[in-house]
A and B are shown apart, each in its own frame.
Chain A
Amino acid sequence: MDLNRPALPLQNKATNRKALAATAIAAALLLSACGGGAAPQGAEQAAAADPASGANASGAVNICGVKDASGIYKGTAEAFTQANGKVTAKYTEIGATTDEARTQIVQRLEGKSTECDLFVTDVIWTSEFASQGWLLDQTKLVEANKDRLIPSTVETTKYQDKYWGSPFFTNAGLIYYQKDKVAKPESWQQLYAEAAKAPGNGYVYQGKQYEGLTVNFLEMLYSAGGEVLNDQGDVKIDSKETRDVLNFMSDGLKNGSADRAVLTYNEDPARLAYESGDFGYQRNWPHVYRLLNATPLASSFAVAPLPAWEGGKASGVLGGWNLAISAHSTNQAGAVAFIDFATTPDWQKHVAMDYSQAPVNEAAYSDPAVLQKMPFATELLASVKGAKPRPISPVYPQISQAIYKNVYAVLSGTASTEEAVKKMADEITTAKASF
C-alpha cells in the first residue's frame, strides 16, 4: 500500500466513525461484562442435612471462601483431616475480599456447581442464599449441636424458622480505651461526655459510608431498644429511638466527642488514628487487640464490652462466619463431619488461641489457656452474648445501603434527622418490595 497517498476527506470521516464505533464497543464490553444469568430454584423444597450422617462419612470435602489471612480455614481443614482419618478436607480460596468471595459463591451456586461442598459465609448472607434454595437445611444439625453453641451466634444462620448454617467463629464490637486518660465506658452518654472533656479523649469509630457504619449505628440503635424490622418483617425504623440515636451521633461530631475524621474511617484507618495516641476511645473488632499490643499503647489501653444507654441494656451487632453446606454438594455427610469437628469445644479453643477469633462455644471463653492468649475474653463473651443479628432479609444489602447512606447524610450534615429517617424507612420498604 502506498503510504504517501493523501488522505481523502471522505476517508477521514470514515476513520472517525470507525474509531468512534470501536471505542463505543469497548465501552459497552466493559459495562456488559457485569451482567449475570440466573437459574430458577425454590427455597421451599431444600433438602435437610442429617446429623447422624457425619459418623460414617468418607471421601473428600472441599471448603470454599475468602482469602485465608489468619490461616484459620486451612488450619482447621488440616486438623480435621488428621483427626478424622476417613474424610480429607481442603480449603479453596475463591475471593481476595469479602465482596469478591460473595460474588464467586453466588456464581457457583447459580450455576449449580459441585466444586464446593461447604461455603464459609458472612453472617449477613444467610437469608439471601437460603431464600434461593442454594443451601442445605441444617436445622437438625444445629438442634443436635445446640448445647455447645452460643444462642446468639446460631441466630445468624436463621431464615424463616430454619437454620441454614452452623456458626464457625463469631465477632462483636468492643470499646478500646486509654485507662490513664478516660474512664471505663459504662454508658454511651458517659463515653461521649468523657470524650468531649479534653482534646486527647476523643472517640473514633467507623463512620465512612459503608457496611461498617450500618453496624456502628445498629449497635446504638439496638441498645436503645430500636429495631429495623420486627419479627414479622415489618419496617420499624421510623421511630423515636432512631431519631434519638441519629441526633446523639451527630451532636457528638459537632461537640468534638468524636473527631470529624471518622467520616472517612473504616476499620483500619480508625485503628491507625487511635494508635497515634490522640484519642481516648475506639470502637473496633477483637482482632485489633493483638495489633494494639504491638504499639507503645500496649501498657495503657484496656478493653470493654459495648456500653448500654443510661439505665438500659447493652446490645451489639454480631459479625462472624458460618459454615453453609451447598445444596449441590456431592459429599454432604463429609460436610456434616467437618462441621461437627469445627464446632467441638476443643477445636473452638484453638480458634481463640491459634487464630485470635471469637469462639462460638461459651466454655472456651473461661478456659485458662484461652484467657492467657485473649485476656479480654470475658468482655468479648459479654458482647457476643448480648449481640443481635443484623436485619434478616434476602435483600439485606439494599437495607444496609439505605441505613448507611442516610446515617452518613445526617453525620456529614447534608440531611436533617427527620429527612433521613423518612428516607431510610422508604428505601427499606422499597428494598423489601423488590424481593
Chain B
Amino acid sequence: MALKTLLPGRSPSGAPARPVSGRDRAERKLAFRMTAPSLVIMALVAAVPIGYAIWLSLNQYSVRTAGLSRFVGLENYINALASQEWWAAFGQTFLFAGLSVSLELILGTAMALLLNLAFKGRAVLRTVVLLPYAIITVVSAITWQTMFQPNMGLVTNVLSTLGLPGGDVVWLGEHGYAMAVIVMADVWKTTPFAALIILAGLQVISAETYEAAELDGASKWQTFVNITLPLLRPAIVLAAIFRTMDALRVFDLPFVLTRGANGTESMSMLAYTQLRENRLVGEGSALSILTFLTVMVVSVIYVRFAGGNIRDVAKEEQ
C-alpha cells in the first residue's frame, strides 16, 4: 500500500481527473493544519543541523587555537574545488554510482519479473531474495574482503583452481579490480531493494492490459517492450533515485575494503577523513555540504527528466 501511493503518477483507481472543488480546498487546509506540527519539528530537526553545518563550513577551525574559529567565507569551498582529491573522489563516486545503479536496475527488473510469476514457494523466495539487503553493510564488506583475499580467499582460490583468469590477481590491491569488487558488493547487497520497488510497480499493472495485448497477438517480447517496460518506468525511476542517492554517499564499502586506495576514495570518505581524523571541522563541513549539494543536484535532475516521463505516462493512461 505505502509503496503504491509512493509511486508517482499513478492513482490507485486510474480514474480520470476532475476540477478542484471547494471541498477539495477545505480538505487541503485541514491537511495542512494537521501536518503543521510535524512540519515544524522536521524543520527544527533538519534545518538546525544543516544550518550549523553550513556555518561550520564557512569557518576555519584550527587545532592550534584549540578549535577557536575564524570566519573565512567561501575559502574552504574554493580550496576543496581547487583540490585534486575532491575531483578524484567526485569522479570515482560517479563511476561507482553509474556502474552499480545500472547493474542493480537491470538485475532488479529481471528479479522482479521472476518473482512476479506465479509459482509454488514464491513467498519463500521473495523473503530469501531480500536477505542480502538485511545484512549490515560493514559486515557484508568484511565478507567480500575475505572472499577476495589473495592466496586464501574463496573467489581467488576457486578461480586459480579452475585455471581461470583472475586467480593470481590481488583484487583489492589493483586499480580497476578494487572498484569492480566494490561495485559487486554493492550490487549483491542492494539489487533486492531495487527488485522490491520494481515488483510493486509490476503488480499495479492490470491483467486486462496483458489480455488485450494477447488478443492483439503481441509476442512475449513485444508485450515486455511495449507494455511492461513503459508502465514500469515510474517504479524503475523511483528505484534509480533511491539507489543513486545512496550510491553517491557511499562510505562503508570502500572504507572497509580498501581504505580508499587504488582510486576508490569516495566523497563521503574524504569528508570523514577531514572531519574525524584530521579534526579540520571547516574543511570537512565544506566537503560534506559539497557532497550534499551533489546528491541534491543529481536528484533534481532525475525528478526533472524522469519526472517528465512520469507525467507522460500519467497522461497516456488518461
Contact = CB atoms under 8 A, between A and B. Distances in A.
Contacts of A17: 303
A293 interface: no
Given A40-B68, A131-B64, A35 B261 contact: no
Contacts of A209: 258-261
16 contacts: A6-B17, A6-B18, A7-B10, A9-B17, A20-B299, A25-B50, A29-B45, A34-B275, A35-B285, A35-B288, A263-B172, A278-B151, A394-B63, A397-B277, A412-B262, A414-B262
A67 interface: no
Contacts of A56: none
B151 A273 contact: yes
Given A6-B15, A38-B69, A264-B149, 8 more contacts: A6-B16, A6-B17, A19-B6, A25-B42, A29-B46, A31-B288, A34-B284, A209-B258
B194 interface: no
B174 interface: yes
Contact of B261 (A9, A208, A394): A208
B259 A210 contact: yes
B250 interface: no
A378 interface: no
Interface stretch (B120-128, B210-218, B307-315): B307-315
A1 B31 CA distance: 10
A30 interface: yes
A414 B178 CA distance: 14
Contacts of B63: 128, 131-132, 394-395, 434-435
A11 to B, nearest CB: 9
A259 interface: yes
A412 B288 contact: no
Contact of A27 (B17, B245, B278): B245
A16 B5 CA distance: 12
B153 to A, nearest CB: 10
Interface stretch (B91-99, B224-232, B289-297): B289-297
Contacts of B61: 38
Given A264-B150, A395-B278, A24 B295 contact: yes
Nearest to B11: A7
Given A35-B281, A36-B281, A38-B68, A4 B15 contact: yes
A25 B174 CA distance: 36
B275 to A, nearest CB: 5
Contacts, number: 199
- By size class, the interface of chain A is 35 or more
Given A103-B276, A412-B262, A435 B15 contact: no
A267 interface: no
A435 B56 contact: no
B66 interface: yes
Contacts of A263: 170, 172-173, 261
Interface in B1-21: 6, 8-18, 20
Contacts of B272: 34
B221 interface: no
B82 to A, nearest CB: 13
A186 to B, nearest CB: 28
Nearest to A278: B151
Interface of A: 1, 3-9, 12-13, 15-17, 19-20, 23-25, 27-43, 99, 103, 106, 110, 128, 131-133, 208-210, 259-261, 263-264, 269, 272-273, 276, 278, 394-395, 397-398, 401, 405, 408, 412, 414, 434-435
Interface centre among A41, A110, A434 (most CB of B within 10 A): A434
Contacts of A29: 45-46, 49-50
B67 interface: yes
Contacts of A6: 11, 13-18
Contact of B271 (A12, A34, A37, A210): A34
A12 B173 contact: no
Nearest to A40: B68
A388 to B, nearest CB: 23
A9 B314 contact: yes
A261 B173 contact: yes
Contacts of B315: 9
B235 interface: no
Report which residue of B61, B173, B272 has the largest number of chain A beta carbons within 10 angstroms of its beta carbon. B173
B147 to A, nearest CB: 12
A39 B67 contact: yes
A30 B249 contact: yes
Contacts of B42: 25
A31 B12 contact: no
Nearest to B234: A12
B65 interface: yes
Given A263-B170, A264-B172, A36 B278 contact: no
Nearest to A1: B27
| Listed residue (B8, B12, B261, B275) with the most chain A CB atoms within 10 angstroms of its CB | B261
A378 to B, nearest CB: 32
A68 B199 CA distance: 47
A99 B255 CA distance: 13
A434 B62 contact: yes
